[in-house]
């Protein structure tokens, strides 16, 4: 059951649809059937992209953690 990307030629709405074998999708906005199937780019995973994603997540989590600690300290200063 692949997911395809479509663009409705009637209303220009772009959407994704799970298409079962033999089924014809319709536009969820205008219910039109005149659709153009768009080219989808696959997600490529490699050791390098995985390492970059992990580093980005660690940096993001570090920043959020520091903000939480600062907010907790500020709360304790004002409520003790």
* Residue with tokens 């995973």, as numbered in its chain: 45
Q: Residues 13-57: pLDDT tens digits?
A: 999 988 888 888 899 999 899 999 988 777 678 888 889 989 999
**pLDDT given at position 75:** 92
Residue 4 pLDDT class (50, 70, 90 cuts): confident
pTM: 0.48
* Residue with tokens 């395809």, as numbered in its chain: 4
Separation between Cα atoms, residue 50 and residue 30, nearest integer Å: 39
């Amino acid at each position: 059951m692949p997911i395809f990307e479509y663009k409705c030629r009637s209303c220009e709405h772009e959407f994704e649809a799970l298409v079962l074998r033999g089924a014809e999708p319709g536009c969820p906005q205008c219910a039109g059937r005149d659709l153009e199937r768009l080219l989808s780019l696959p997600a490529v995973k490699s050791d390098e992209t995985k390492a970059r994603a992990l580093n980005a997540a660690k940096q993001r989590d570090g920043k959020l953690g520091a903000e939480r600690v600062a907010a907790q300290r500020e709360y304790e200063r004002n409520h003790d």
